[in-house]
A = this chain, B = another copy of it.
Amino acid sequence: MAEPTRPMRRQDIRRENEKTILVAAEKVFAEAGFGGATMQLIADLAGLPKANLHYYFATKEELYRSVVQNIFEIWLQAANCFDAARGPIDGISAYIDAKMEISRRHPDGSKVWASEVMHGAPVLQDYMESTLREWTDGRVEIIRRWIEEGKMDPVDPRHLLYMLWAATQHYADFGHQIETLNGGKPLSDRQWREAKDNIKRVILTGIGARPA
């Protein structure tokens, strides 16, 4: 019954262990916060001795930094939906879909991200002042153009973006509250769809989005 453990190549070992550690770390950081997380807890969850963690990640901060950067990249990827779109209905719908999918598939990463920002973004400050700002400015420009072209009402683009972030991220960060109010059960497929549709409908109607 024992799997015939094929010999692993060096590269595979490193990649696999780093992945295992990062997954465990993401979960522990999400559940306990940076201060509450311990290397021992992460090691136990990863099924590795603590000293092994320090072989791959020198310090707790370095491990945390890797986790945060990972989720930040996923977060940014959802951005592309916006660019390809021809109008607010396509663009914002796709963006809501993408961000809701992140909230559903990576709730731990979302929480780590939220926690990082809430504590003043000590690790990500640089990214926020460069990458995030550029991305935001670009999207603001797109929305402004949509408004000029009469494709939607004149809504402040920044506050609209904040609302999109807030409404979608809420389902990850406050998932526990939502679950509690849902009778202690996680949202079903159907409920996730309803959530998505509701956000889309309220916001798209709210900004007076008109077909391109």
- Give A residues with C-beta under 8 Å from B: 30-37, 111, 114-115, 117-121, 125, 128-129, 132-133, 136, 153, 155-156, 158-160, 162-163, 165-167, 169-171, 173-174, 176-178, 180-181, 194-195, 198-199, 201-208
CB distance from A182 to the nearest CB of B (A): 8
When the two chains form their complex, are residues B31 and A119 in contact, meaning their CB atoms are under 8 A apart? yes
Task: Please give me the 8 A-B residue pairs with the lowest Cβ-Cβ distance, nearest first.
Answer: A35-B36, A206-B206, A166-B170, A202-B206, A35-B35, A33-B33, A159-B198, A166-B166
Q: Give the distance in Å from the alpha carbon of A37 to the alpha carbon of B37 in the complex.
A: 12
CB distance from A153 to the nearest CB of B (A): 8
In the complex, what residues of B have CB within 8 A of residue A133's CB? 180-181
Chain B: CB-nearest residue to A140: B181
